[in-house]
Amino acid sequence: MPFAIRTTIVLACLLYAHGMATTSAAAQAHASPLQGQQVILVTGSTSGLGREVALRMGAQGAHVIVHGRDEARGLAVVEQINSGAGSARFYSADFASFDNVRSLAASILRDYDRLDFLVNNAGFGSAPDERWVSEDGHEFRFQVNYLAPFLLTTLLKERIISSTPSRIVNVSSLAQSPIDWEDVMIENNFSGGRAYG
């Protein structure tokens, strides 16, 4: 599916769910949601579809928790949102590390008393065609694209439920391969496309 069509579909779903069918690291520490402002966590929001979702939700007046690995890109998204109708704050976490995911969840639970939307967008594509293993011992793409979002959702679940009406949006791909239950971590016959989908 072309990126523009996928982006349009995801944004339309988020806007429907949302109810509408010069920032530095120090300055952003004070960026917090206003009374009644919806709080939205968009993982992988420093580029691509996640960035677009974060900017659009910020333009609708939401407080956006911007997530990614690159602080400079994250702060640029925060600055753009804070210069408009919304507010934002950046959190860095690498989904190739479960410790990073746990730390991200702990920081969000510490800093926010509500979480209206969780958009699980972060992911890693099919290229390069090389097998990597995460520090936790899992095939890299499997951890980043599936295990880490599951862990984050599980850790934030009670906060999301207590913020009802709330939503969890899982961004996925049409690229799919059946799981080989005899070789879940794809140690044999590896290909990036097979690992991605």
Residue 197 has pLDDT above 60, yes or no: no
* Total domains in the fold of the chain: 1
For residue 110, give the CATH number of its domain: 3.40.50.720
Q: Which residue has the higher pLDDT, 68 or 10?
A: 68
Q: Which pLDDT score is estimated for 34?
A: 55
* DSSP one-letter string for 58-93: HHTT-EEEEEES-HHHHHHHHHHHHTTTSEEEEEE-
Give the domain extent around 56: 3-196
Query: Dihedral of CA 79/55/171/16: which sign?
Result: positive
Q: Which pLDDT score is estimated for 20?
A: 39
Q: Which pLDDT score is estimated for 148?
A: 95
Q: Which residue has the higher pLDDT, 99 or 186?
A: 99
Q: How confident is the model at residue 82 (pLDDT cuts 50, 70, 90)?
A: very high
**pTM listed for this prediction:** 0.76
Active site residue 146: no
Q: Which residue has the higher pLDDT, 12 or 74?
A: 74
Q: Which pLDDT score is estimated for 141?
A: 82
Across 84-98, 134-148, 166-180, least confident range: 166-180
Q: Which residue has the higher pLDDT, 10 or 25?
A: 10
Q: Which pLDDT score is estimated for 156?
A: 98
Q: How confident is the model at residue 112 (pLDDT cuts 50, 70, 90)?
A: very high
Residue 4 has pLDDT above 70, yes or no: no
Q: Which pLDDT score is estimated for 145?
A: 86
Across 55-69, 76-90, 121-135, least confident range: 121-135
Residue of 16, 112, 146, 196 marked catalytic: 196
Residue 186 has pLDDT above 70, yes or no: no
Mean per-residue pLDDT for 102-124? 94
Q: Which residue has the higher pLDDT, 10 or 70?
A: 70
